[in-house]
């Protein structure tokens, strides 16, 4: 039964008042459409029009049918649609089937770009696996029989030692600065992050210089206690020495994750545990630590992956791992297939770590809700001094001592060579800037395409594009060089055959291959920052932009780009600094006579020209401090404090 508004009589009542008999209400009754008197001829009033049922074409898509003329001047549907408001509505309306087809086409087109970008980023990983299936060379028998067991043992000892000590230092220091009040706690909160600014290979060569047989530490021991005093001193160029260096460089990953988890926990749970008879230590192990375990596992996983990917520190200290073995198999033995097979073994170890990490924190969260009162327990006397010492030692040995020693080396002005330094700095600035710009642009393409497409393929593209950060640099270098070299040879052969022009190596002969490897490794850094920026935009703003008729590109240019400027700048900065410090991929893929600051520091340290390496190493540290300062402001939220 049709109901009409109180202010408008039914159409039949209007017709009776004017002495007219309207046409049947439904066209099926007489085969004609109803005619209604109105201002514009006999156009049907808007209140009497019923919406077309779902799946049925509207008036603009059906052949025009004209009602029989009457004394009131009946008009056709095409004439009735000339009304400005009705014409606009009819023009805007589309058949549901056609609209669905167009929407599906737009979604597929939106997913095409992120899928293509993700496939290019994942190309090195696929190339390594394919190349490893090739016929083994003569060197593989020697490598597999004698070197692989040694590489595996050293790698496992290194990963296990670094992960254990970094967990102990990171979790312990985070718990102290969050839970207790003691002298210097506010300063130590951000000082404990500073070792992230120093690359591991810089730490390695500084401590090798300090602790070697001819270094100042053993020389002082011999001067104080005689020539035999240093006989008991352990050899620093060993697996324990590499563990010491990598722990100092990587423990801040665990510290940041653990501190964020402790800050977000509520103090009520800890108090309940104590009311049930738990001591503070028991409450920590039985309540606080289990709640923070998912976050701590993420930090430890980062430490383990960085340890597996390290080349500079282990190479300077003479520790044979898979990364040094890959470099040796390719450049010393000249066997690319053996290098690819070693890289595939290392890649399988990395994938196993990723699977274990995700399985461990599956369905777990570390946010218990509530407000935690930071520093609620004061430590004085011996306890306060012990807490201060436990927190200051990692910051001192991880940042203050290495940076101070580099500053003392700058006293030797004759060893600085500013011309060589500025050449390396220019090369570093070039590749870092180009990579950061491309990474941000590709990150926007991937994230916007995924948001517009909204399917499982989009999620798969996101995961595929972010895999590179977990893959060690030597593995990505091999996976980049193999397909790009084949592409260069194919293009050069076609150019010579058709045009008689020798193009040379377009990508692998310049910085193209180097930038491609950087993008594959650090794309996940850009994606994470851009995703965080999109997450801060209120959905109402996007809905308003869509209502105003803005498409995806216009929303990105007029809405997203302005609101996401800080996130885009953060992504560019993080990628810039990571590219500056990247060593193994740069060593393998750089063109001839193209040294970056990282390569310059490594080569000088390997030649024991430490005074010359001081200036480029300090430049890396100064630039590396920028993201550390950013982390200290954004990743260390201030908990609620007791007044």
419 shares its domain with 553: yes
Average pLDDT in the 219-245 region? Answer: 82
The answer to whether 278 and 269 are in contact (CB under 8 A) is no
Q: Is the pLDDT of residue 217 over 90?
A: no
Cβ–Cβ under 8 Å, residues 273 and 291: no
Same domain membership, residue 461 and residue 368 = no
CA 140 – CA 144 distance, rounded (Å): 6
92 in any annotated domain: no
Q: pLDDT by residue (tens digit) across 2-22?
A: 444 444 444 544 444 455 444
Please indicate, yes or no, whether residues 336 and 424 belong to a single structural domain of this protein.
no
Residue 460 lies in a domain: yes
Give the tokens for residue 104: 């599906």
408 vs 55: which has the higher pLDDT: 408
CA distance 113 to 536: 24
- Percent of the chain scored above 90 by pLDDT? 25
pLDDT exceeds cutoff 80 at 496? yes
Hey, what are 318's tokens? 């003479």
Residue where one domain finishes, among candidates 378, 409, 440:
409
As a whole number of angstroms, the distance between CA 159 and CA 255 comes to: 18
User: What is the tens place of the pLDDT at every residue in 61-101?
Assistant: 444 444 444 444 444 434 444 443 344 344 444 455 655 66
pLDDT at 98: 59
> HEC string of 366-432?
CCCCCCCEECCEECCCHHHHHHHHHHHHHHHHHHHHHHHHHHHHCCCHHHCCHHHHHHHHHHHHHHH
Contacts of 200 (CB under 8 A, 6+ apart): 245, 246, 249, 250, 306, 310, 312, 313
Please give the pLDDT value at position 363: 56
What's the domain range around 241?
148-409
| Of the candidates 394, 399, 435, 407, the residue with the CA atom closest to the CA atom of residue 199 | 399
Tell me the C-alpha distance between 482 and 512, whole Å.
13
Q: According to the model, what pLDDT value does residue 203 have?
A: 94
More confident call, 515 vs 18? 515
Instruction: State whether 317 and 417 are in the same domain.
Output: no
Other CB atoms closer than 10 Å to residue 528's CB: what's the count?
17
Which residues sit opposite 114 in a β-bridge? none
Residue the block writes with tokens 């040094």: 324
- Residue 140 domain-assigned? no
Domain end among 377, 409, 441: 409
**221 and 361, same domain (yes or no):** yes
Check whether residue 478 and residue 552 sit in a common domain.
Answer: yes
Boundary-marking domain end, from 409, 424, 448: 409
- Band (pLDDT 50/70/90 cuts) for residue 198 is very high
Domain count along the chain: 2
Higher-scoring residue by pLDDT: 449, 180: 180
Mean of the per-residue pLDDT values for the chain? 77
pTM: 0.76
Residue 362 pLDDT class (50, 70, 90 cuts): low
In a domain, 49, yes or no: no
Residues 170 and 306 in one domain: yes
Q: Please indicate, yes or no, whether residues 338 and 361 belong to a single structural domain of this protein.
A: yes
Domain for residue 172, yes or no? yes
Q: Which whole number is the average pLDDT over 20-39?
A: 45
How far apart CA 410 and CA 559 sit, in angstroms, is: 49
Q: Are 264 and 398 part of one and the same domain?
A: yes
β-strand pairing of 373-374 with 180-181: unpaired
Q: Phi-psi bin for 592: left (phi > 0), alpha (psi -120 to 50), beta?
A: beta
Residues 474 and 124: their CA atoms lie apart, in Å, by 11
In 466-514, beta strands by DSSP E: none
pLDDT at 602: 93
Q: State how far the Cα of 591 lies from the Cα of 515, in Å rounded to an integer.
A: 12
Give me the residues paired with residue 373 across strands. 640
Q: What is the pLDDT of residues 629-641, one digit of tens each?
A: 877 776 555 544 4
Question: Could you tell me which of 143, 583, 151 has the C-alpha nearest to residue 324?
Answer: 151
CB of 195 within 8 A of CB of 252? yes
CA nearest 324: which of 512, 550, 148?
Answer: 148
Angle at 291 between CA 285 and CA 296, to 5 degrees: 90
Half-sphere exposure of 192 (CA within 13 A, CB side): 34
- In terms of domains, do 333 and 477 share one? no
Q: What is the pLDDT of residue 60?
A: 43
Q: Are residues 418 and 396 in the same domain?
A: no
Q: What would the pLDDT profile of 440-475 be if each residue is shown by its tens digit? A: 988 888 887 777 766 677 777 777 777 778 788 888
Could you give the CA distance from residue 44 to residue 11 in angstroms, rounded to a whole number? Answer: 10
Higher per-residue confidence, 359 vs 308: 308
Separation of alpha carbons 243 and 371, rounded Å: 37
Residue 24: both structure tokens together: 């049947």
Q: How far apart are CA 124 and CA 22, in angstroms?
A: 75
Q: Which two tokens stand for residue 424?
A: 């390396």
What angle (nearest 5°) sits at the alpha carbon of residue 563, between those of residues 561 and 565? 65
- Choice between 380 and 201, residue whose per-residue pLDDT is larger: 201
- Specify the pLDDT at position 634: 64
Asked if residue 284 lies in contact with residue 173, where contact means CB atoms within 8 angstroms, the answer is: no
pLDDT digit string, tens, across residues 106-132: 666 667 777 887 788 788 888 888 888
Q: Please indicate, yes or no, if residue 562 is contained in any of the structural domains.
A: yes
Task: Calculate mean pLDDT across residues 508-520.
Answer: 89
Helix axes 96-132, 418-453, angle to 10 degrees: 140
Q: Is the pLDDT of residue 570 over 90?
A: no
Dihedral angle of Cα 475, 480, 481, 486, to the nearest 10 degrees = 140
| Within-domain flag for 13 | no
Q: What is the DSSP string of 154-183?
A: HHHHHHHHHHHHHHHHHHHHHHHHHHEE-T
Q: pLDDT digit string (tens) for 265-307?
A: 756 666 776 677 777 777 777 778 888 888 898 899 999 999 9
Tell whether the model's pLDDT for residue 201 goes beyond 60: yes
Q: What is the pLDDT of residues 601-618, one digit of tens each?
A: 999 988 888 888 889 999
Q: How far apart are CA 60 and CA 436, in angstroms?
A: 51
The CATH number of the domain holding residue 381 is: 1.10.3720.10
As a 3-state breakdown, the chain gives helix, strand, coil percent values, each rounded to 5, of 70, 0, 25
Do 447 and 320 lie in a common domain?
A: no
Query: Does a structural domain hold residue 574?
Result: yes
Higher-confidence position of 189 and 561: 189
């Amino acid at each position: 039964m049709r109901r009409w508004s109180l202010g408008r009589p039914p159409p039949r009542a209007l017709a009776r008042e004017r002495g007219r008999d309207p046409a049947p209400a439904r066209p099926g009754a007489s085969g004609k459409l109803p005619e209604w008197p109105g201002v514009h001829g006999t156009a049907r009033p808007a209140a009497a029009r019923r919406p077309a049922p779902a799946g049925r074409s509207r008036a603009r898509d059906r052949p025009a049918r004209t009602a029989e003329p009457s004394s009131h001047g009946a008009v056709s549907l095409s004439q009735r649609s000339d009304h400005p408001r009705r014409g606009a509505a009819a023009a805007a309306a589309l058949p549901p089937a056609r609209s669905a087809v167009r929407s599906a086409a737009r979604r597929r087109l939106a997913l095409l770009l992120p899928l293509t970008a993700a496939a290019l980023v994942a190309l090195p990983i696929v190339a390594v696996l394919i190349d490893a299936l090739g016929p083994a060379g003569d060197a593989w028998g020697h490598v597999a029989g004698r070197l692989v067991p040694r590489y595996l043992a050293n790698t496992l000892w290194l990963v296990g030692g670094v992960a254990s000590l970094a967990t102990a230092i990171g979790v312990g220091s985070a718990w102290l600065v969050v839970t207790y009040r003691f002298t210097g706690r506010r300063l130590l909160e951000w000082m404990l992050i500073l070792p992230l600014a120093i690359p591991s290979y810089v730490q390695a060569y500084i401590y090798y210089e300090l602790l070697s047989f001819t270094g100042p530490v053993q020389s002082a021991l011999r001067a104080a206690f005689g020539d035999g005093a240093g006989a008991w001193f352990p050899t620093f160029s060993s697996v324990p020495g590499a563990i010491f260096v990598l722990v100092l460089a990587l423990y801040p990953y665990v510290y940041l994750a653990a501190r964020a988890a402790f800050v977000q926990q509520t103090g009520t749970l800890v108090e309940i545990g104590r009311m049930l008879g738990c001591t503070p230590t028991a409450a920590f192990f039985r309540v606080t630590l289990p709640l923070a375990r998912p976050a701590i596992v993420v930090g430890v996983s980062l430490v383990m992956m960085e340890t597996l990917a390290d080349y500079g520190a282990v190479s300077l200290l003479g520790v044979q791992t898979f990364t040094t073995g890959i470099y040796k198999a390719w450049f010393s033995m000249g066997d690319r297939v053996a290098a690819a097979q070693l890289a595939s073994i290392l890649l399988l170890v990395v994938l196993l770590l990723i699977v274990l990490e995700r399985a461990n924190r599956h369905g777990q969260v570390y946010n218990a809700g509530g407000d935690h009162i930071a520093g609620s327990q004061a430590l004085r006397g011996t306890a306060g001094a012990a807490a201060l010492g436990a927190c200051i030692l990692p910051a001192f040995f991880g940042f203050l001592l290495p940076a101070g020693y580099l500053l003392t080396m700058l006293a030797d002005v004759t060893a600085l060579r500013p011309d060589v330094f500025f050449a390396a700095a220019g090369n570093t600035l070039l590749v870092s800037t180009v990579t950061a710009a491309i990474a941000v642009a590709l990150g926007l393409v991937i994230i916007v395409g995924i948001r517009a497409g909204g399917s499982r393929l989009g999620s798969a593209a996101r995961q595929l594009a972010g895999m590179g950060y977990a893959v060690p640099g030597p593995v990505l270098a091999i996976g980049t060089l193999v397909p790009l070299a084949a592409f260069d040879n194919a293009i050069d052969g076609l150019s010579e055959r058709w045009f008689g022009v020798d193009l040379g190596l377009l990508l692998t002969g310049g910085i193209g291959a180097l930038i491609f490897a950087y993008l594959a490794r650090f794309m996940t850094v850009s994606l994470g920052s851009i995703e965080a920026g999109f997450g801060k935009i209120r959905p109402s703003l996007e809905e308003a932009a869509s209502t105003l008729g803005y498409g995806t590109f216009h929303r990105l240019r007029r809405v997203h780009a302005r609101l996401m400027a800080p996130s885009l700048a953060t992504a560019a900065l993080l990628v810039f600094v990571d590219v500056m410090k990247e060593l193994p991929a740069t060593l393998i893929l750089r063109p001839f006579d193209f040294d970056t600051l990282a390569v310059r520091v490594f080569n000088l340290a390997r030649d024991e020209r430490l005074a010359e390496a001081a200036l480029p190493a300090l430049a890396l540290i100064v630039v590396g401090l920028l993201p550390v300062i950013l982390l200290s402001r954004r990743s260390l939220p201030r908990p609620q404090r007791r007044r």
